[in-house]
Structure 1
Amino acid sequence: MALGPVLVIGLDPVRIPGWDPEPVVAAIARGQARFGEHGIEADLCLVVPDDHPEREIVAALTRRDYACVVVGGGIRKHEPLLELFERVVNLVRQHAPGAAIAFNSTPDDTAAAALRWLR
């Protein structure tokens, strides 16, 4: 039985200035590979908070009928991004009302977060 598809919404480590994105890029790649190991199609929507990401998020949410949307820890855990986190959750509710909402701890456990709701 095929599971998914899943949409992962997170911060784009390459487009956020001031720090080395490579460890996060590698972790995202490992997380995406884990989806593949479970036979789950997973799309990424990586955004920059200061670029008014709502348009990108809505476009991603409406591209497919997602079974689950995972909101990344970079958006959820960083207190200055609390308002963005709220907007993301409400955009998911509005544009993908049938999708479960999951939260990861790190990019490495994103598939595990989705699997909690896909089974």
Structure 2
Amino acid sequence: MPTILVIGFDPHTIPGFDPAPVAAGIERGSKLFAELGLTEDLFLVDFTELGGPAEAKLTEKLAGKQYDAVLVGGGIRKGPGLLELFQTVVNLVHWHQPDAAIAFNDSPGDSPDWVLKALEQRRKR
């Protein structure tokens, strides 16, 4: 059973943001992972801890066990002013999970589709 790490923002920690739609999407994505027989490990970045604390927690998570795939959520890479965070996350995944497939999504609900595509690409290597 493949193990997947999903990295995204905790929508409840973003100031002035309605967390309900994203939280519902994350829950839908988690259910789809389970239906597909994929074990999901969710790592939600606290928006108020950007920089040192968030990076240290992610590094610890990535070093804790081997994942078959790591998905970096859209909020991490699409948000204005978050390019440095996105680059840091991708590099941490690359350094600590060099054998894992890396996937990106458009929304939490399509995460399983992109993870399956990334796993398939990894198998073909």
TM-score band, normalised by shorter chain: over 0.9
Amino acid at match of 1:59: E
Give TM-score, length-normalised by structure 2. Answer: 0.88
Count matched residues. Answer: 117
Q: Which residue of 2 aligns with 1:93?
A: 94
Q: Which residue of 2 aligns with 1:16?
A: 14
Q: Which runs of 5+ in 2 are unaligned?
A: 121-125
1:1-119 matches, cutoff 5 A: 2=1, 4-51=2-49, 52=51, 53-119=54-120
- How much has 1:118 moved relative to structure 2? 1.9
Which has the higher mean CA deviation after the structures are superposed, 95-104 or 43-52? 43-52
In structure 2, what is the Cα distance between the partners aligned to 1:105 and 1:43? 19
4+ residue runs over 2 A deviation: none
Asked if the contact 1:49–1:84 (Cα under 8 Å) also holds between the matched residues in 2, the reply is: no
Percent identity over the alignment is 49
In structure 2, what is the Cα distance between the partners aligned to 1:49 and 1:84? 11
In structure 1, what is the Cα distance between the partners aligned to 2:110 and 2:27? 11
Superposed CA RMSD:
1.1
Residues 29-51 of structure 1 deviation map (CA, whole Å, 9 limit, x = unaligned): 00010000100001111103441
Q: Which residue of 1 aligns with 2:123?
A: none
Asked if the contact 1:10–1:71 (Cα under 8 Å) also holds between the matched residues in 2, the reply is: yes
In structure 2, what is the Cα distance between the partners aligned to 1:49 and 1:14? 9
Q: Which runs of 5+ in 1 are unaligned?
A: none
- How much has 1:79 moved relative to structure 2? 3.1
Instruction: Specify the SS of the correspondent of 2:11.
Output: coil
Give TM-score, length-normalised by structure 1. Answer: 0.93
Residues 39-87 of structure 1 deviation map (CA, whole Å, 9 limit, x = unaligned): 0001111103441311121122122210100000001111310000000
